[in-house]
Amino acid sequence: MTINCKQKCCAIGIFAALALGPMEVSAKDTGPNILLVMADDLGWTDIGPYGGEIDTPTLDALADSGILFTDFHASVSCSPTRAMLMSGNDNHVAGLGTMGEILAPNQTGKPGYEGYLNDRVVSMAEVLKAAGYHTYMAGKWHLGHTEGRLPFDRGFDSTFTMLVGGASHWDDRLGILPMDDPTLYAENGKLTEKLPEDFYSSQTYSDLLIDKIRSNHGDGTPFFGYLAFTAPHDPLHVPEPWLSEYAERYDEGYEVLRQKRWSNAKALGLVPREAPLPDFQSVVEVWNGLSDEDRAVEARGMEIYAGMVDAMDYQFGRVVDFLGDIGELDNTVIIFLSDNGSNPFYSEDYPGADDPEFVAKFDHSFENLGRPGSNYAYGPGFASASSGPLDRFKLTVGEGGIRVPLIMSGPGIPKGKTTAAFAYVWDILPTVIDLTGSDYPESMDGRSILPMRGRSMMPLIDGSSETLYKPDEFIGGEMNGDKWMRQGSFKATLVNPPYGDGNWHLYNVVEDPGETLDLAAEMPDQLTVLKSAWNDYADEVGVVPAQ
C-alpha cells in the first residue's frame, strides 16, 4: 500500500501552541469534544512518555500538554477492559466476566457472562448521545459480534469496526485463530465483508474517524470520537517506511531492552529509584541460549512491533492535525490509553492456531515477517521488555498486565502534570461525564441501569486532591481465575500457571512496582484483609469461577 507521509513531528507544534493551563482555555457554549484513543496490547514503557525508545512524537507532545498517570490500571485483556471503559462499571457486571471466546460451560448464561456489553449498563456513547453529542467510532469493538450487539446499537451514530479480538491489519481478513477467520467487521449496525480500499488498520481507522468528524463539522454540535486502534496487537504488520525503520535496533535482545527501559522509567520519575528490576518469568528463555536463527526472528519481531507503535502514533497525529486545521483542537479533550499490557503469546499459542489447515494459510518465512500473509506475535521475552520495570504482561494480574498508560489533554486539564494516584479504567466514563456536563441515567429504553462503580478523576486533574481512592478503600478484579485486590500501596495477587504458582502473594506496589518482594510472610494480617476483601468483591459483582 501507499502511505502519504508527513513530517513525524506533525502534531507537536499544535499541542505546544495549545498547552494552556485550565483557566487559560476559553470554552465554547457547547461542551468539549471528546477524542478517546485506545491502543491494543501496548506495554507500559512502549511509548516515549513512559521511558520507551520508540519514536512517538504525538504522544510525547500530548503528555507535555496534559496530565500523565503512572498508576492507572485496566483488566488483563481486551474485552473486559473495553466493557469497563464503556460502562464505568466492573466487567463482571457489564457482561464480560470473561472473554466471550473462552466462556466455560458453567459460566454460559450467567449474569455478567453474556459475552457482550449487556443491558444492565449504558455505554459512553449512549450517555453522550443523550447529552446532544455526535458519536463516532472506528476500530476495535470486541463487545458483541452479532447484529443487535454492535456499537451502532449502543449509541454510536456512525461506525466502522472490527468485532473480534485480533486479526490481520491488511485487507485479507485473516484471523489470529480459526474461530475468528475470516474476521468479522461491521459498518453502521450491519456485518460487512467489504473493507475500505487500500486498508491498513491504523491508517484506515484514522481516515474514517476524520471523515466522520468532517461530515457534521460546523453544525454547532460537539462530537465524541472513539478511535480504537488494533495496533500493536499481533499479528505484527506494518507498511513502509516503518517496516524498515527499526532494523537492527533490537539485536542485543530483550534482556538489554528491559534494563534500558527500567532505567529510563526511573530517570523520568515514573517509579522509585530504589525499585528493583523483576526477574524474567520462567517461560522466557535466556537470550544467549537461543540459536542465531531464533534471535534473528525475535529481534525482527520487535522491530516490526516498534514500527507499528510508531505508525500508530503518526496516524493519531494526523487526527490531531485535522482537529487543529478545522479549529476544534482547543475544544477537544483527548484521552489516550491501552487496554492491557503487552502480549506474551506467540502466534501458535492461540487456541487452534496450530491446526495444519489454518497454518497453511500463512507465509511464515523470515522475509515475509510484517507483510501481508505473515502471522507472528513476539512472545514473552519482548513482552517483558515492553513492561519495563513491571512484572509479567497481558493475561496476568501482575502490574505488567494491568498497569497501563493513560494521558489526558485538553480544556480544563493542566499541562505537563504527572499524577501517581491509583485510578482504574472504570473511572474514565465518570470523568467524561464531569468534563461534558452529561448525566448518567437511572434507566434507558424502559430498562433499569445499574449505577457506575467508577468515580470522576477530576480531583486529580484539577489538583483538589492527590488521591482518588482513600488509603483504606479496596479495588480489585478477576479474570480467568487470576485475582488481585488493592488497598492503598498494598496489592494482593493470585496468578495461575504458567505465569504464576496459583498462591496468594502480597506486595507494596508503590515502592516495588515490579512485585519482587513478597510480603505475605512478613505481613500475614494485611494479606488476610485483602483476601477477605476480594471475596466480598467477588460476591458483589458475581464472579463465577470456571469449572
By annotation, the residues acting in catalysis are: 78, 142
Are 229 and 37 in contact by the 8 Å Cβ rule? The answer is yes
Distances (CA, A) of 402 to 352, 482, 543: 26, 12, 18
Alpha helices by DSSP H, 437-514: 458-462
Are 332 and 323 in contact by the 8 Å Cβ rule? The answer is yes
| Residue 53 region by backbone torsions, left for phi larger than 0, else alpha for psi between -120 and 50, else beta | alpha
Q: Is 162 helix (H, G, I), strand (E, B) or coil?
A: strand
3 state SS for 241-268 = CHHHHCCCCCCCCHHHHHHHHHHHHHHC
Distances (CA, A) of 507 to 205, 425, 466: 40, 21, 22
534: enclosing H helix or E strand = helix 524-541
DSSP sequence for 119-154: TTS--HHHHHHHTT-EEEEEEE--S--STTSSGGGG
For 249, list phi and psi in degrees, rounded to 5: -70, -25
Q: Can you tell me the distance from the alpha carbon of 494 to that of 397, in angstroms, rounded to the nearest whole number?
A: 8
3 state SS for 292-359 = HHHHHHHHHHHHHHHHHHHHHHHHHHHHHHHHHHCCCHHHEEEEEEECCCCCCCCHHHCCCCCCHHHH
List all residues 6 or more positions away from 154 whose beta carbon is below 8 Å from its beta carbon: 86, 117, 123, 125, 126, 143
